[in-house]
Amino acid sequence: MFFIVNLVAGRAVISEKLGEIIDSFNKSDIEVTVHITQSSEDASASAAYACESGFDMLVCAGGDGTLSQCLQGMLHSSRRIPVGYIPAGSTNDFARSLGIPQTTAGAVKWITDGVPTACDIGRFNGDYFTYIAAFGAFTNVTYETSQQVKNIFGHSAYIISGLMQLTSIRAKHMRIEWDGGSVEDEFIFGMVTNSASVAGLLSMNDFLFDDGVFEVTLIKKPTNILHLQQIVSSLLNISEEINKEYVRFFRTDRIVFTSLGGDAVTWTRDGEYGGDSQINVVECCPRAAEFLTGEGRSELFSEK
């Protein structure tokens, strides 16, 4: 096993359990090579090294961003290996969706007893993402909130930072095209997802990890702040009907976002900065990566 660890993820508690984790892997007859990430891009290069150097599996301990970097390295390499994930970030959306236990011991057992299960992976302008690519309101919160603030306040740090931006939301004039449809309008937010949860708040129903399509949510510019509050409320409250006047939802395997206002649009990928461009292409790569998963999550995968 090549084991990539981000010691500062979440509340930085993974460092206290590192010896226990390695001991559990050794007791399962797994030889472990540990690499501690040194920078934001380090996980990607290390994952590529693991794939090219003949390791049997790649395991990541960190947040969603660290996992995304690991997949980036693996998918850009010539060899792919099964991936295990020990969630240690502030939100852990992908782990929550996949059903990975939130306890370290439980996540380790998922890896030692797990079965490689193929999942769809997203491609964004040639790079990859695990579960979300998004633009617009609040998307900068995930990568602009400092790690120190995240460690102190946890998931609440995102909510606090987001509320401070409510009065400064700007819409983007965009043309959005996908197989079977297109739309041109002013949008304040858009996301392409493969997850049951986004930012620990939004819940997606009726989705599969390996169905070859992603879920798309678009939010048009509201006419006033009251409508904005209603939109946010309908998205956060799963029992409330989505405001269809402003919110559009559909599924597709490829979608193109074109900014018509003459300016580039800033995106995030898995909670990290994703770049600025006027034209952005998001595609689904069917069953491109295998994750080590435990039993009891068959409802999230199609029968193939």
Instruction: Tell me the pLDDT tens digit for each residue of 228-241.
Output: 666 666 555 544 55
Instruction: Tell me the pLDDT tens digit for each residue of 84-96.
Output: 999 987 677 788 8
Q: Is the domain of 113 the same as that of 31?
A: yes
Q: Is the domain of 146 the same as that of 205?
A: yes
What mean pLDDT comes out for the span 48-58? 97
Q: 122, 128 in Cβ contact below 8 A?
A: yes
How many domains are there within the chain? 2
Q: Is the domain of 136 the same as that of 51?
A: no
In this predicted structure, the answer to whether residue 135 has a pLDDT above a threshold of 70 is yes
State residue 65's pLDDT score.
Answer: 85
Q: Is the domain of 271 the same as that of 295?
A: no
Q: Is the domain of 103 the same as that of 217?
A: no
Q: Is the domain of 12 the same as that of 117?
A: yes
Q: Is the domain of 22 the same as that of 117?
A: yes
- Mean pLDDT is lowest, of 70-84, 263-277, 278-292, for 263-277
Domain range for 100 is 2-121+287-300
Whether 127 is covered by a domain: the verdict is: no
Whether 113 is covered by a domain: the verdict is: yes
pLDDT band at residue 145 using 50, 70 and 90 as cut-offs: very low
- The CATH number that applies at residue 163 is 2.60.200.40
Whether 126 is covered by a domain: the verdict is: no
pLDDT band at residue 286 using 50, 70 and 90 as cut-offs: very high
Q: Is the domain of 85 the same as that of 148?
A: no
Dihedral, CA of residue 27, residue 30, residue 36 and residue 39, to nearest 10: -140
Q: Is the domain of 191 the same as that of 113?
A: no
Instruction: Tell me the pLDDT tens digit for each residue of 101-121.
Output: 989 999 999 999 999 999 999
DSSP states along 35-89: EE--STTHHHHHHHHHHHTT-S-EEEEE-HHHHHHHHHHHHTSS----EEEEE-S
Q: Is the domain of 178 the same as that of 39?
A: no
- The CATH number that applies at residue 85 is 3.40.50.10330
Instruction: Tell me the pLDDT tens digit for each residue of 159-175.
Output: 334 444 445 567 899 99
Whether 269 is covered by a domain: the verdict is: yes
Whether 96 is covered by a domain: the verdict is: yes
In this predicted structure, the answer to whether residue 246 has a pLDDT above a threshold of 90 is no
CA distance 119 to 299: 13
Whether 215 is covered by a domain: the verdict is: yes
Q: Is the domain of 106 the same as that of 157?
A: no
Q: Is the domain of 22 the same as that of 140?
A: no
State residue 221's pLDDT score.
Answer: 82
